[in-house]
A and B are shown apart, each in its own frame.
Chain A
Amino acid sequence: MSASVKTLVNQPYKYGFVTDIEADSIPAGLSEDVVRLISAKKNEPEFMLEFRLKAYRHWLKMTEPTWPHVSYPPIDYQKIVYYSAPKKKDKLQSLDDVDPTLLETFEKLGIPLSEQKRLSNVAVDAIFDSVSVATTFKEKLAEEGVIFCSISEALQHHPDLIQKYLGTVVPAGDNYFAALNAAVFSDGSFVYIPKNTRCPMELSTYFRINNGDSGQFERTLIVAEEGSSVSYLEGCTAPMFDTNQLHAAVVELVALDNADIKYSTVQNWFAGDENGKGGIYNFVTKRGLCQGKNSKISWTQVETGSAITWKYPSCVLVGDNSVGEFYSVALTNNCQQADTGTKMVHVGKNTRSTIISKGISAGRSQNSYRGLVKVGPKAEGARNYSQCDSMLIGDCAQANTFPYIQVQNNTSKVEHEASTSKIGEDQLFYFLQRGISMEDAISMMISGFCKDVFNQLPMEFAVEADRLLSLKLEGSVG
């Protein structure tokens, strides 16, 4: 790798600052008492505590998965702080009551929450460590019957909806990290789109980890009733610490008849330094249930941060003619490790799924695609198309593909295509010889490679994602 490329690649992380704010944290460690304490702090209904305790007891009997193609030292779950919230005086009546330090923090991250500066047509729920600090455009959305609030708030005002849907897509004991999340999750976003309603604006949640010892365990639930549609986007950043922080989130989506959910992620957690010190462990379970006929769930993710990423946004296609989509760009650099992909489970008739995965590995990083396409015995006429492309930058990066295909129905059609390419010194020289700078060359090649995925992102974020990738990569070539 040439030196110029190296400096380019190793752009400093812009979001690594820590906000100095007094926090209400509980001591590190996990026990049944801690689970009860979290539930009590949030004044939760009884069923929620039951859900948590069941998950916790289940978790105790489980072991951490070892099958992902990643390696890290054992996590000491007793050293993690499971609840940390910025101290506040009283109940928040409006955004004006939000601590200005927090507003400033989000502003610095490019997520203005104050009335005047809000992103037009994007409603934002801002989550700081364990709690939601503000949700914008709530009233405007309520006019349409759309509920968009933190999950803690939803537990107070809409407990019936939470009880009906929470844990129906990702059960409390689904996997090790999902069980941990179910036991200790502190906040997250809740979205409910009523029947035949098209959500009038983009919904977005912005996650920020601030506390160096705290884990972030948020839980997001989106329910789209019959004939409704919604587009939702999440973004994430964290300060730079020498230690690793655990982020174990769960996202559940439910789409009823003819409903349509589009879920986009731009993940830029701190990735650790160039020697792999620090960074977020991003161990996330995301799953969508296409319960109704003709329903559609589409995942788009741009994964650029985290020391380790372990996530497989999935679709369970139960309703006849339902559609699942997964579009992913996963970029790893330096010592980052990613094991990511999707699961498409075809249950209903004529269900269709599309998987487009683009992995970019630079530095000494490891980037694996892992995907399952499963066609059940009743999924007549099911179709899947998968395309997994890897791009290597430099000579020390790794790309792997682990496709799993299980078909139990002979009327279905499953296609898988894969390719591996490399940005080489000679290609770069070709650009340079035409007067095009190294930065522009890399950004043009990466945009070209990721085009199919970026086209799926909401307009405002496609540009952002494009820029983010170039920033992260510049200099990793050679």
Chain B
Amino acid sequence: MINDNAEVILSVRNLTAEVDGIQILKGLNLEVRAGEIHAIMGPNGSGKSTFSKAIAGHPDYTVTGGEVIYQGQNLLDLPAEERSRSGIFLAFQYPLEIPGVSNIDFLRVACNSRRKHQGLEELDAFDFDELVQEKLDVVKMKPEFLNRSVNEGFSGGEKKRNEILQMALLEPRLAILDETDSGLDIDALRIVSGGVNQLASPDNATVLITHYQRLLDYIVPDYVHVMEGGRIITTGDKSLALELEERGYDWVVEQEAAGVQ
């Protein structure tokens, strides 16, 4: 939902970042307002995942230039856990398995860290249980998942649903979904995208990183960006995704190189 008067949640200017000394992001610009859904598409290696990790504050991704303002605050000053507590959520492309730590404990500690930051009362095990039961519906997960170790032995689809469950509990201001659709069958894709749509509101914003147009049939973006060589080279609406699906990325890249736009 585009509303030009809505608050700017995230403003990225000329962001450059490197991994292992190799520069991946080369001057990325992006502005996200409350209520908006953005899709970032682009060929492999264009820097989509690096962008998400840099925003979330992964220690291996070093920001070398530019600025990121989140809710009016310099995001780059905050350590990763503070970014999360202030409402930035990253749904992982490959959610990690944490043997020995039960899903419910993990969810409760995470949820309470966020609540504490928001000045809300932390939930005890009983109140949290009630809350989580309610949120399970969003992703149609069975309660049994709560007592298993975090993501251990989960199928690809179950892991992604667990990510969305975490998102539902943390109620982020800005959610970045990194290839959440990869490895999902049609049913799982429906459940996951249904969850994302349910959680989207005029007050928060979502950035979808994806390779495929398919996801955008379920979650309709307000903007579609194409990333290449560490920058966003073109932006359009939903129809751009359809065109990309038909024609591939090459024509956009060529257009950009020829200085059209």
CB-defined interface of A425-444 with B at 8 Å, one 1/0 digit per residue? Answer: 11101111111111010001
Q: Are A444 and B105 in contact (CB under 8 A)?
A: yes
Q: Are A451 and B100 in contact (CB under 8 A)?
A: yes
Q: A432-B81, A444-B105 are in contact. Are A427 and B98 (CB under 8 A)?
A: yes
CB-defined interface of A415-429 with B at 8 Å, one 1/0 digit per residue? Answer: 000000100011101
Q: Does A110 contact B (CB under 8 A)?
A: no
- Which residues in chain A, 431-467, are within 8 Å of chain B measured between CB atoms? 431-438, 440, 444-445, 447-449, 451
Q: Kindly list chain A residues whose C-beta atoms are within 8 Å of the C-beta of B114.
A: 435
Interface range for A: 20 to 34
Q: Are B113 and A430 in contact (CB under 8 A)?
A: no
Q: Does B16 contact A (CB under 8 A)?
A: no
Q: Are A425 and B98 in contact (CB under 8 A)?
A: no
- Which residues in chain B, 45-73, are within 8 Å of chain A measured between CB atoms? 56-60
Partner of B109 from A426, A427, A433, A440 at Cβ < 8 Å: A440
Q: Does A2 contact B (CB under 8 A)?
A: yes
CB closest chain-A residue, reference B102: A448
Q: Kindly list chain B residues whose C-beta atoms are within 8 Å of the C-beta of A438.
A: 81
What is the CB-to-nearest-CB distance from A430 to chain B, in angstroms, rounded to a whole number?
A: 4
Partner of B85 from A426, A435, A440 at Cβ < 8 Å: A435
CB closest chain-B residue, reference A452: B100
Secondary structure class of chain A's binding surface, majority of residues: helix
CA gap between A280 and B197 in the complex, in Å? 60
Q: A435-B170, A448-B100 are in contact. Are A429 and B149 (CB under 8 A)?
A: no
Q: Are A434 and B59 in contact (CB under 8 A)?
A: no
Partner of A2 from B59, B85, B89, B101 at Cβ < 8 Å: B59
Partner of B92 from A421, A430, A436 at Cβ < 8 Å: A430
Q: Are B81 and A437 in contact (CB under 8 A)?
A: yes
CA gap between A432 and B90 in the complex, in Å? 11
Q: Kindly list chain A residues whose C-beta atoms are within 8 Å of the C-beta of B113.
A: 434-437
What is the CB-to-nearest-CB distance from A376 to chain B, in angstroms, rounded to a whole number?
A: 36
Q: Does B99 contact A (CB under 8 A)?
A: yes
Q: Kindly list chain A residues whose C-beta atoms are within 8 Å of the C-beta of B80.
A: 429, 432-433
What is the CB-to-nearest-CB distance from B208 to chain A, in angstroms, rounded to a whole number?
A: 17
Q: Kindly list chain B residues whose C-beta atoms are within 8 Å of the C-beta of A421.
A: 99
Q: Kindly list chain A residues whose C-beta atoms are within 8 Å of the C-beta of B110.
A: 434-436
Interface residues, chain B, with chain A CB atoms under 8 Å away? 56-60, 79-81, 83-85, 89-90, 92, 95-96, 98-102, 105-106, 109-110, 113-114, 117, 149, 166, 170
For this complex, 26 residue pairs linking A to B, each with C-beta atoms less than 8 Å apart, are A2-B59, A427-B96, A429-B58, A430-B92, A431-B106, A432-B79, A432-B84, A433-B84, A433-B89, A434-B109, A435-B85, A435-B110, A435-B114, A435-B117, A435-B170, A436-B106, A436-B109, A437-B81, A438-B81, A440-B109, A444-B105, A445-B100, A445-B101, A448-B99, A448-B100, A448-B102
User: 3 closest Cβ contacts across the A-B interface?
Assistant: A448-B100, A435-B113, A434-B110
